[in-house]
Amino acid sequence: MKQILLITGFFLFLLNGFSQQSDTIYLWPNKIPGESAPRHRPVVTDNKSGGVTRITDITNPAIISFKSENVEKKNVSILVCPGGAYKYLAIDKEGYEVAQWLVTLGFDAYVLQYRAPDKREGALQDIQRALRTIRNIDSTQIVGLMGFSAGGNLSAMAATNFKKKTYEPEDEIDRLSCRPDFAALLYPAYLDEGDNQTLSSEITIDNSTPPFFIFSTADDAYGNSGLVMTTALLNKKIPVELHVIPLGGHGYGLRKGNIAAETWPELFLHWMNYQFKPIAIDH
């Protein structure tokens, strides 16, 4: 019951605007690997459809930090990865709004501004560096991923390619692990780009792959991605929990009025309670 009240309260909180303070942490103090464009602020696109703020032309990757002030603070940090087809980031709907919800529950949250448009290799470098940066901030924390759509694809990439050296180490931060402790994929996309809609070749699963939570809907055009990923994880005996509900479509984030958006948060919290019992998220 407490979870439901918190989730409902968050939607009311959104209507009144954000009050949680946040900080921007730029990921690359020196040369950005594989990047030739000059550093500048992300560009806000003219497309405001669905009441979504979209940013693109990201050349100075960063994480936006949201620290929980909840008295029941959990020992967990979650890196939130917005989607946007790798063309842009739906930075509020699948980023800041999600982070604000997480901190009300006692999690620390970070929103990843990864390189776009069309820079998947750079985005993987950014998420690896972001995971290491978070571990450098607090080495005692459980560190997980939560990705939406293309951000779900990127999260799956990070959770299965943490042994891959994607850039030359810059400093002591790069000595830290970039393996996430879990990955939550919400309506993930592009995970079935192998032959005949099989698992994408970039996904490499072995016995060190962390546990996954996956949520999608039957009417999502990208719904096969979650099914293919789940099957691949099961074949390797990696813990995975998959939920598919009939309706909801794609790209709903946390916003009230969509059955999928109102369903996945509670399921995710139940899974976290089961997967990481020491964090004890009370009902």
pLDDT at 74: 85
What domain range is 165 assigned to? 2-279
Cα distance between residue 111 and residue 255, in whole Å: 17
CA 213 to chain centre: 11
Residue 232 pLDDT > 90, yes or no?
yes
Split at pLDDT 50, 70, 90, the class of 276 is: confident
Tell me the per-residue pLDDT of 142-187, one tens digit each, with 9 for 90 and over: 999 999 999 999 999 999 999 999 999 999 999 999 999 999 999 9
pLDDT at 194: 96
CATH classification at residue 166 = 3.40.50.1820
The count of residues in the chain is 283
> What 8-state DSSP symbol labels residue 94?
I
Give the total number of structural domains in the chain. 1
pLDDT at 12: 37
Tell me the per-residue pLDDT of 19-73, one tens digit each, with 9 for 90 and over: 456 799 999 999 999 999 999 999 999 999 999 999 999 999 999 999 988 767 7
